[in-house]
Every structure is written in structure tokens, then in C-alpha cells.
């Protein structure tokens, strides 16, 4: 796929709006519990009342059907529109290579076939209207990750690691790769981070403690939480009833729910502007409502409490820490980091400022989770994702009021 093709199918493509937030769950190496996290996270988001789809993008070693008790090896049912009907398990919709092939025979696929299947899993499945589409990626930083990052408007990636140093180092590499292809890192999950006693539920730390939080802090990405090592998780996986369903009272089940709450913005984003919003630049009625929380000293730097239009040329942001920032809308267009504007590998600017009209203006600004906004412009460009961290880092001028 060319970059141009990839970009044309990114953010702003109305054909993908029904998929909601697309969240990739990644890990640098296998066996760290990525599929277990994806599955329990998907169920925890569904338990909050969200419509959730789960794509088992691990084409070579699909484990999600087993974890959810989904029958494998049967030809999928097709809808009248020719789309694949996903399996239903514990209230979520699921698609996996394991549902299409006999799981004893791992799929042998070359790069182009991987892309083809992933596009099919995302675009040619009868998902209906979703709030979240969770992608359980295969481990590593190969073709699959690149295809997904370049072709789909990912809200961001959750990186799973175990507490051992080696695993954390590999996670760090995974994060760097995601950053290179401009996928925002939603945060790190530390899995198997302490042992849950089966009789008293007390959690004892048997490996180093706090490694995930430290790596997150050193890379300036959020730490989403730690999931204890719990033998019940293995049994649940084998029985097709994930922990959040089978043992909702276990500390690990609570940890999955906390991570889901953070990702859906019920915790971290609670102080920010209410989402979702879809603001048509010239229409004040569609402007995002300001947060009910007042900005205050010590508040988070990257949580916006108000977004406003000072005049047709100036976007104004007020942050929870009380900082007011105004951004010229042409500067906003020039700061776009999408694959069409910045070379994905070298990070060099591809966009030539001279071709951006002086009178360019946004047409729409919409929320992407509680981490970013998408912006479409009057020059037809609509694939830019601006994380709040990126916006906050843009050179800002002080303004009096929002």
C-alpha cells in the first residue's frame, strides 16, 4: 500500500466512523499476557455499557477464541451485504483467524496477505456501531504493526509488559516504534506484577516492583496500571471465561476495570472537556462544552478544560493547570504529523509550507478519546491527529481569557 492510499483511509474517512475508538494492544515480545489484557479490557469496557469489538490481529497464533470459548474452524457466516458476521462472546463481538482456520494449523501468510486479512478484519466485518474496537496485535514490531498504524485511524496503543528488566527494555523499543509511525501511546500496563494468594487474595511482589511506572515516566507516557499474577487467569483463559466475567471480585479483575476506566476517560479525563464532540468551526452551537472542573495550580498540564475560537484564525485552549494558549490555525495545519505531512521513518517534514494557503481554516474539530483531537481543514486535509501533549508543546502565546 502506498502512503497516499494509507492516508486516504485514515481519520476523517466516514467509512470508519462506526468503529469508534480503535485501540491497539501491543507488546514487544510474546507471552507477556497481551491477549489476556486485550480480552479482559474489551469485556471491562463492555461492562461499562460500551459497544465493543475485538480483533484478534495475531494471525499466526490466534488465542482469543480459546480465551472466550468461541468455536473455531467453521466457515464464517456472511451478511446479505457480503460482510463477515463476527462471533459474539460475553457481550462483545469478535473476529479471529482462529475462526477461519483450524487452530491446530497456524496460518502461513506472507506480508501482503497479512495486510489483506487485517483490512478484512477491520473493514469487511459487520461490526455495527461500536464505541471501541480493540486490536490484539501479534508481539513485536513487524509488518502487522506497520500496516495497522499506517492504514487505520488508531486512537492509540496500549503497551503490555511484565516487570522484568528485559521485558521492559523490549516494551521501550515497542513504544519507540509506535511513536515513529505516529501512533499515540495511551499508556503502559504492567502484567504479572505481583502474586495473588488464591486463599486470601493478598498480592505479594515477587519481581521488581514499579518498573512499568518508571519506564512510563522516563518515556513521558501514561502508566495505566499493574495487573497481579493470578493463577485463576490461566484457568479462566483455558475455560473460555475471562477473569472479569468468572471472578469479578479478584484484584486482577479490578485492575482490568481500572485500566478500562482510565482509557474511557472516566478517571483521567473526568476533569477535561466532555467528550465526544464534533465541532464545526463556524458553528458555535457545536463547540465543545467547557469542563465542569475549574483550572487550578497543580492541575494536569495536558488536560484541556476549554476549547474555543477566539476569532476565525485562532484556536484557544485552556489547560487544567491554568495555562491559556492560543494557536494560529495555519500553524496548527503546519504542525500536522500525519503520514502525508511527516515522513514516517525519518520524521522529516514532507509538507511544504508554501502550499498551505494563508487563509486556511479548520472546518471541523472532533474529539478522539480523551487524548487527542482530529482536525479537518479547508484545504481538504483531514488525517491529522493532535494529541493534547503535542498541542500543549506548540509554542503558545498567553491570552487573557477563554
Give me 242's grid cell. 475471562
CB nearer to ligand ADP: pick between 12 and 211: 211
Which triple of cell numbers denotes residue 300?
494536569
The partner residues of 52 in beta bridges, in order of sequence, read: 132
What ranges in 181-296 are assigned the alpha helix state H? Answer: 211-219, 231-239, 243-246, 251-263
> Taking the complex as a whole, how short is the minimal distance between the CB of residue 335 and ligand ADP, in angstroms?
35
31 φ, ψ (degrees, to nearest 5): 80, 5
Rounded Cα–Cα distance for residues 180 and 388 (Å): 18
Distances from the Cα of 293 to the Cα of 38, 361, 365, angstroms: 32, 29, 22
Percentage helix, strand, coil for the chain under 3-state DSSP, each rounded to 5: 30, 25, 45
Helix, strand or coil, per DSSP, at residue 342: strand
The interface region with ligand ADP, picked from 24-32, 104-112, 284-292, 366-374 by CB under 6 A, is 24-32
**From the list 229, 305, 338, 341, which residue makes contact with ligand ADP (rule: CB under 6 A)?**
229
Stretch of 44-52, 224-232, 321-329, 383-391 lying at the interface with ligand ADP (CB under 6 A): 224-232
User: Least distance (Å) from ligand ADP to the CB of residue 14?
Assistant: 33
For residue 195, with 0-12 CB atoms within 10 Å meaning exposed, 13-18 middle and 19 or more buried, which class applies? Answer: middle
Q: Does 168 bind ligand ADP (CB under 6 A)?
A: no
Judged by CB under 6 A, how many residues of this single chain contact ligand ADP? 18
Residue 40 binds ligand ADP, judged by CB under 6 A: no
Of 148, 141, 131, 65, which is closest to residue 103 (Cα–Cα)? 65
The answer to whether residue 233 forms part of the interface with ligand ADP (CB under 6 A) is yes
For position 158 contacting ligand ADP by CB under 6 A, the verdict is no
Closest-by-Cβ residue to ligand ADP is 33
Is residue 163 within the footprint of ligand ADP (CB under 6 A)?
Answer: no
387 sits near ligand ADP (criterion: CB under 6 A): no
- Quick one: 160 or 263, whose CB is closer to ligand ADP? 160
Which of 100, 244, 252, 373 touches ligand ADP by CB under 6 A? 252
Q: Which is nearer to ligand ADP, 237 or 272 (CB)?
A: 237
Q: What is the DSSP string of 170-181?
A: HHHHHHHHHHHT
Asked if 365 and 375 count as a contact pair (C-beta separation under 8 A), the reply is: yes
106 binds ligand ADP (CB under 6 A): no
Site residues (vs ligand ADP, CB under 6 A): 27, 30-36, 63, 191-192, 227, 229-230, 233-234, 237, 252
Amino acid at each position: 500500500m502506498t502512503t497516499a492510499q494509507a492516508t486516504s483511509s485514515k481519520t476523517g474517512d466516514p467509512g470508519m466512523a462506526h468503529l469508534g475508538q480503535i485501540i491497539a494492544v501491543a507488546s514487544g515480545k510474546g507471552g507477556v499476557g497481551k491477549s489476556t489484557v486485550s480480552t479482559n479490557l474489551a469485556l471491562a469496557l463492555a461492562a461499562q455499557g460500551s459497544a465493543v469489538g475485538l480483533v484478534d490481529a495475531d494471525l499466526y497464533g490466534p488465542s482469543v477464541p480459546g480465551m472466550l470459548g468461541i468455536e473455531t474452524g467453521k466457515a464464517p457466516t456472511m451478511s446479505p451485504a457480503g460482510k463477515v458476521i463476527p462471533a459474539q462472546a460475553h457481550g462483545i463481538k469478535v473476529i479471529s483467524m482462529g475462526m477461519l482456520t483450524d487452530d491446530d494449523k497456524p496460518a502461513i501468510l506472507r506480508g501482503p496477505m497479512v495486510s489483506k486479512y487485517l483490512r478484512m478484519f477491520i473493514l469487511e466485518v459487520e461490526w455495527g456501531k461500536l464505541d471501541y474496537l480493540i486490536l490484539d496485535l501479534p508481539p513485536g514490531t513487524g509488518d502487522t504493526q506497520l500496516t495497522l498504524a499506517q492504514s487505520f485511524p488508531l486512537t492509540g496503543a496500549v503497551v503490555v509488559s511484565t516487570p522484568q528488566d528485559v521485558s521492559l527494555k523490549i516494551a521501550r523499543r515497542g513504544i519507540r516504534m509506535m511513536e515513529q509511525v505516529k501512533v499515540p501511546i495511551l499508556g503502559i500496563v504492567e502484567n504479572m506484577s505481583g502474586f495473588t494468594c488464591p486463599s486470601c487474595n493478598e498480592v505479594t511482589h515477587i519481581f521488581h516492583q514499579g518498573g512499568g511506572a518508571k519506564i512510563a515516566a522516563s518515556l513521558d507516557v501514561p502508566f495505566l496500571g499493574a495487573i497481579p499474577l493470578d493463577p485463576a487467569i490461566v484457568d479462566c483463559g483455558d475455560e473460555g471465561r475471562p477473569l472479569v466475567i468468572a471472578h469479578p471480585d479478584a484484584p486482577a479483575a479490578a485492575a482490568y476495570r481500572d485500566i478500562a476506566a482510565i482509557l474511557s476517560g472516566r478517571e483521567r479525563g473526568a476533569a477535561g472537556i466532555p467528550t465526544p464532540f464534533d465541532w464545526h468551526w463556524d458553528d458555535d452551537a457545536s463547540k465543545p462544552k467547557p469542563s465542569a472542573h475549574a483550572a487550578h495550580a497543580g492541575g494536569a498540564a495536558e488536560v484541556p478544560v476549554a476549547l474555543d475560537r477566539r476569532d476565525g484564525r485562532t484556536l484557544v485552549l485552556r489547560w487544567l493547570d491554568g495555562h491559556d494558549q492560543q494557536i494560529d490555525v495555519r500553524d496548527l495545519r503546519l504542525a500536522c504529523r500525519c503520514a502525508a505531512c511527516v515522513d514516517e521513518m525519518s520524521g522529516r517534514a514532507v509538507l511544504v509550507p508554501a502550499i498551505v494557503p494563508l487563509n486556511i481554516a479548520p472546518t471541523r474539530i472532533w474529539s478522539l478519546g480523551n487524548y487527542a483531537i482530529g482536525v479537518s481543514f479547508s484545504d481538504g486535509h483531514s488525517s491529522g491527529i493532535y494529541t493534547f501533549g503535542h498541542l500543549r508543546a506548540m509554542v503558545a502565546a498567553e491570552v487573557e481569557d477563554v
